[in-house]
Amino acid sequence: MRAVWLAIAFSGVVSAQGLTLEEAVKRAVERYPSVKVAREQASAAAAGIALARTSYLPKVDFLSAVNRATRNNIYGMLMPQSVIAPISGPPVREATGSSVFGSAIGLHVAWEPFDFGLRKSGVDAAESARRQAELATERTKFDVSTSAAAAFLTILAAEETVKAAAAGVERAKAVEGIVGALVKAELRPGADAARARAEVAAAETQLIQARQSVALAKAALAQLVGDEVAAVEAGKLLGESPAGVAAEAAPATHPVLREQSAAIDTVRARQKVLDKSVFPRFNVESSTYARGTGARPDFTTQGGANGLAPNFYNWGLGFTMNFGLTDLMTIKQRRDVESAHERVEQARLEQLRTDLTAQGKKAQALIDGARQVAAVTPVALEAARTSEEQATARYRAGLGTMIEVAEAQRIHTQAEIDAQLARLGVWRGLLEAAIAAGNLDEFIGKAKGN
């Protein structure tokens, strides 16, 4: 007996520690994979800033090479290509198959002292991309939060349906007992007993379907929170719904609008990079190298290991300017493409703002309708309860039929379901209003009773 009481007490502790709305939203944000994906994309964008800043550093190239090759050289120009290896030195009188060692080592440094703002615009573009990625993460978190809150309300609605359906089963079984006694006393036909059993089966089917809805809703929430959902804590969500008005215009701080505004800034940053790309590129360059060869100017060879170590060196210092004339048309076309992208993103921003405003108005309509329904469902429930009692009483007195009792039972069960779901309908409207406003903090606070 003591073990039974301990089990009952333990089960009470577990139910009291059910998952709350606030906990469900928090766990979903922390664990759902899409948030992790967005977070890592933001990290990659942040690394892109450091990459863009490396363009300020001088370019340093080091080369070291050793080879064994022939030394046959001729006069004449060769168009730039990547197949035939270049060779230095005077042309030979005739080809020979002899080969000598050759070696080279060198260092080349190039630095761009000024760039008319090109490198800075590249860093700014990377900064814009990072900002957009961070806001995309915030928008993803918001989407996951709203999904978790909606799934939580769905669980509560399904559980309330289970309660009403279970009560309907009990009432159907009670009527079945009454009918069975009357049939056994030959005061009612046997067909009434069959109809009573059919009503019990129908009520049990409705209960099974309601329990299935609970299991599906919990599975949906478990997918978001990354853990099995055994029970949920309703808090104030099953009590009287609080006052609340949906926002008619989406604020600029809405996560969706902030992300879209960042997308426009990113396109503009890319445009600035293209604007700075039309200027010439200037470089201060320095080069030093040494070469070794086993060949002599008189076309003889030294033999042995001569040429393996460099024995001639050069150095140079210069200032170069590079201006790609044919790139101007390409840059212009790319600029036109980015301008079109900006118009697309601007139009998308207007569309999102319009949609969110409409969502806020729909949420207000949903709240108003749900409040009106919640106001009349108690009256409907009381009338349905009274109607069932009267139908049962008339049946006992032989003045009513089994069909009237069955219909009254169904109406009673549905009225109980409607009464419970009406209050949750107001909360669902408040959730839609919070989504349109872009902030769930107030909604969660109301659910906690704050």
- The tens digit of pLDDT for each residue in 27-60 reads 999 888 888 888 888 888 888 888 888 888 889 9
C-alpha Rg value of the chain to the nearest Å = 40
Please, which pLDDT band fits residue 104 given cuts at 50, 70 and 90?
A: very high
What is the predicted pLDDT for the residue at 14?
Answer: 36
Q: How many Å from the N-terminal Cα to the C-terminal Cα in the chain?
A: 41
Q: pTM of this prediction?
A: 0.79
Q: Mean pLDDT throughout 140-160?
A: 91
**Cβ partners under 8 Å of residue 379, min gap 6:** none
- If pLDDT is split at 50, 70 and 90, which confidence band does 15 have? very low
Q: Is the pLDDT of residue 147 over 50?
A: yes
Residue 369 has pLDDT above 60, yes or no: yes
For the segment 126-150, the average pLDDT, to the nearest whole number, is: 92
Cβ 291 vs Cβ 120: under 8 Å: no
The CATH homologous superfamily for domain 18-57+114-280+323-448 is Outer membrane efflux proteins (OEP) (1.20.1600.10)
pLDDT at 233 (0 to 100): 85
In the prediction, which pLDDT does 133 show? 92
pLDDT computed for residue 11 by the predictor: 38
Distances (CA, A) of 315 to 107, 111, 293, 336: 9, 17, 18, 45
Which position has the token pair 């200027």?
A: 279
Residue 248 pLDDT exceeds 70: no
Handedness of CA 92, 94, 100, 105 (dihedral sign): positive
In the sheet with 100-111, reading across from the earlier edge strand, the strands are 59-69, 100-111, 281-293, 312-322
As a whole number, the mean pLDDT across the chain is 85
pLDDT in tens, 202-213: 888 888 998 999
**Does pLDDT of 399 surpass 80?**
no
Percent of the chain with pLDDT strictly greater than 90: 26
pLDDT tens-place string over residues 408-420: 888 888 888 888 8
Check whether 9 has a pLDDT greater than 50: no
- pLDDT score, position 272: 93
For residue 143, what pLDDT is reported? Answer: 92
Domain boundaries, the chain: 18-57+114-280+323-448, 59-74+89-113+281-322
Q: What is the pLDDT of residue 13?
A: 38
